[in-house]
Amino acid sequence: MASTTRRNFLALAGATLAGAAVSGCSIIEGAAETSSGSGPSKVDRPLKESRTLVAYFSMPETTDPNNMTEDEQNSTHIVGGEVLGNTQHVAQLIEGRLGADVFRIETAEKLPLDHGTLEDLALEQQEANGRPKLKALVPNLEEYDTVFIGYPIWWYDLPMPVYSFLEQHEFTGKTIVPFSVHGGSRLSGTVENITETLSGSTVISNAFTISRDDMDRAEAEVGDWLGSLG
């Protein structure tokens, strides 16, 4: 991975969680692509009838909409003058369509906003198979039937804080619906990784992914995707 360029790290990026060397938020590569795993899988119960949570990790590299650097622009999406992480924007769109509850996955220790420092930290954590400590856990996860999990693609995988989140909660029996923001790497095997980690749950293969370059189309694409889930 040592030869991987900063641009490729961005294959990270979602929100935010919306990704930057952290994608979704940013950490991303490049092309515009939306979604999908291996074909439409239906959730066990219609979404409108299930208690739904949208949990997401997003790392916007600034909150200031003025004079952004290219890396800051890659990691964010501006809505009504407010700076959101890319993955965060997608999470809010899902929240609005489904009337779902929302939980933001955050680390106990603040992550650096400087892009180079952030991507180096993300790679270091990945190579060490680290599990960063989280700021908080979902206190009432047992109340939810369906959990959407959103993330940027960082170094062609889930950000390590998302692994912390998956491993520190009990998802047995729940329906898991992944969504991500990328910089060209699409889902990059993350649905399979989530499926392996959460072996006692049903992970929907028809996951959503969108390029950081296509965030202006996110609302329409999220709507189409949710419609395909039933």
Residue 220 clears pLDDT 80, i.e. is over it:
yes
Residue 57 clears pLDDT 70, i.e. is over it:
yes
**Torsion-angle region of 55 (φ positive above 0: left; ψ -120 to 50: alpha; else: beta):** beta
155-171 average pLDDT score: 97
Looking at residue 49, its pLDDT comes to 59
Residue 130 clears pLDDT 50, i.e. is over it:
yes
Looking at residue 15, its pLDDT comes to 34
Tokens linked to 221: 């694409």
The identity of residue 187, as a single letter, is: L
- Higher per-residue confidence, 203 vs 25: 203
CB 153 within 8 A of CB 123: no
HEC letters along 50-91? CCEEEEECCCCCCCCCCCCCHHHHHCEEEECCEEEEHHHHHH
206-228 average pLDDT score: 96
Q: Are strands 208-211 and 175-182 parallel, antiparallel or unpaired?
A: parallel
Residue 10 clears pLDDT 80, i.e. is over it:
no
pLDDT tens figures, 65-123:
999 999 999 999 999 999 999 999 999 999 999 999 999 999 999 999 999 999 999 99
Residue ranges of domains in the chain = 6-229
Q: How confident is the model at residue 42 (pLDDT cuts 50, 70, 90)?
A: very low
CATH fold of 6-229 reads Rossmann fold (3.40.50)
